[in-house]
Structure 1
Amino acid sequence: MAMEATAGWALRAAAALGLLGSAWIHLVVWQDWARDEPVVGELFLVNAVAGPVLAAAVLAWRGHWLPELGTAGFGAATLLAYAASLTTGFLGVREQFRTPEETWGVVTEAACLLAGVLLLLIRRRARR
């Protein structure tokens, strides 16, 4: 149980860092070019605000599964939108995976997805 608690805290810290990192990247990119894109600009701002809110929730609200699910969902949704922008385009935006922001975005969002899923699995295992 102590190992699960330690792993849980480490994963919560990783989730929070991933959420904050992704929020920061989205704010930087919004300032750079996304603010001029209809719908996509607003979605970048949603990520910039949702990241810190979810980070606070995943650190403070340990008794519930919702912040963990939100963290995994945030990572998955953002990665899927980015994958769409690389392939077919996402709401008129096409990316090419050339910038450091894109690299760090993928890293932080993958961290959110992985940490959120692992936290949910630890919670499920602890309930058994």
Structure 2
Amino acid sequence: MSIMDPSPQDTPAMDQDGAPVAAVWRGFGAAGVFASALVHLVLWFQGYRDIDVVGPLFLLNAVGGIVLTAAIIVWRHRLPLLGGIGFGLLTLTAYLLSATVGFFGVLSPFEFAGTAEVVAAMADVTAVVGSAMALRRERGPS
């Protein structure tokens, strides 16, 4: 083995087809963040913008999610992946609070299983799992 050969830590984990596994997980994380951000942007345009506190938070979620999506895809560092995990967990937590005990005055238990809510919740879970798995794969074996 020469000094020019990559170490096992420098070589990305590959699946059977030769595609880097971490990149696939990174893509899932980015897709989850983007889908959640998109749902929040659509809901903001559909009237959530008129709700005190929650309206601006929906817009912030949408813009932040779009920026974070780009960071996850472009910046090969662990920070965007940690951001994807945090984004998904915080967004899902805020949703669950609004559907159960209320969140900044918004209590929507009857909308708990609407299409937008289900899509956003699935996207948030995808963001967390995809980002966490990419982070795990990029760190290598423990």
Q: TM-score, normalised by structure 2?
A: 0.82
Corresponding residue number in structure 1 for 2:81: 68
Is structure 2 residue 15 aligned with structure 1 residue 31? no
Q: Residue 4 of structure 2 aligns with which residue?
A: none
Paired residues, what number? 126
Could you say what secondary structure the match of 2:140 adopts? helix
Measure how far apart 1:5 and its partner are.
6.2
Q: Among all aligned residue pairs of Structure 1 and Structure 2, give the percentage whose two residues are the same amino acid.
A: 40
Q: What is the distance in 2 between the residues matched to 1:2 and 1:98?
A: 38
Structure 2 CA distance for aligned equivalents of residues 11 and 50 of structure 1 = 20
| Map of 1:47 onto structure 2 | 61
SS at match of 2:93: helix
How far 1:56 sits from its partner (Å)? 0.8
- Please list every run of 5 or more consecutive structure 2 residues that lacks an aligned counterpart in the other structure: 1-12
Gaps of 5+ in 1: none
Partners of 1:12 and 1:120 in 2: how far apart? 8
| Structure 2 counterpart of 1:114, from 129, 134, 137 | 129
1:2 is the counterpart of 2:17: no
- Runs ≥4 residues deviating over 6 A: none
More helix by share: 1
* Equivalent position amino acid for 1:120 in 2: L
Letter in 2 for 1:54: L
- Please say which structure displays the higher CA radius of gyration: 2
Aligned-pair CA distance for 1:54 = 0.8
Shift of 1:87: 1.0
Which residue in 2 is equivalent to 1:98?
113
